[in-house]
Each structure stands twice: as structure tokens, then as C-alpha cells.
Amino acid sequence: MYSNEHTLQDLLKRAYRSLDMEETVTEIEVKTVYERVVGDLITKLTWKIRFKNGTLALSVASAALRHELWYRRDSLIEKINEQLGRKVVHNIVFYETDGLGKK
């Protein structure tokens, strides 16, 4: 017997693929999971979260925060990929900003 049932997630993935939007969807997923992993405080101190070609790029509020996140980088990558259910993030780079989101 043939089943024509599909999950909404499967249908959306097909639609995104046909519209060539998979990278955009992955970027949104990575940003959302990053914010969940680091929590509200770190999220508020992070600007310009970008994801492309396996690299998550973050602008952060201070050198101290950049330093702390850099030391936790491998753990963050592991936790993000674990929550995504696939290995998507391969690297994280950090940029210090002036607190207004500007370098």
C-alpha cells in the first residue's frame, strides 16, 4: 500500500530546495540554535550573526567576551551541531564591536 503522507518539515525542505533557499534556511536554523546554546545574556552581547560555508561569524561586545567564546568554540560547535542533528558548523570566528554593532 502506498502512503502519500509527508511531514510538513519534509514538504518545506522540498519547497526550499526548489526555490534554492536551503542556505538561507540553514543560516536561520544555525542562528536560532546558537542563541539557544549561549543563552539570553550572550545573545544580547552578540551582533551580526552570520553563517556561510560552514563558518559562523559573530560580532561580540568586548575583547573579554570574544576571548571567552573563543576558548569555548569547540564546545559551541559541538552543541550547535548536536541540536541541529547534523554537522553544519565547522568553524566560529569572532569580531569585537563597540557595543553598537560597529567595528
Which structural domains are found in the chain, ordered by start?
A: 8-96 (3.30.300.20)
pLDDT of residue 48: 87
Q: Of residues 21 and 46, which shows the higher confidence score?
A: 46
Residue 50 in grid coordinates:
552570520
State residue 95's pLDDT score.
86
Range list of H helices, the chain: 8-18, 22-44, 63-71, 73-84
Kindly calculate the radius of gyration of the chain based on its CA atoms and give it in whole angstroms: 16
**Residues 20-41: pLDDT tens digits?**
566 777 888 899 999 999 999 9
Which has more confidence, 52 or 8? 52
Tell me the pTM: 0.74
- Look at residue 101 and tell me whether its pLDDT is greater than 60: no
Give 3-state DSSP helix, strand, coil % of the chain, rounded to 5: 55, 20, 30
Q: Residue 19 corresponds to which cell in the numbers above?
A: 526555490
> Which amino acid belongs to residue 33?
V
CA angle centred on 51, ends 10 and 84, rounded to 5°: 40
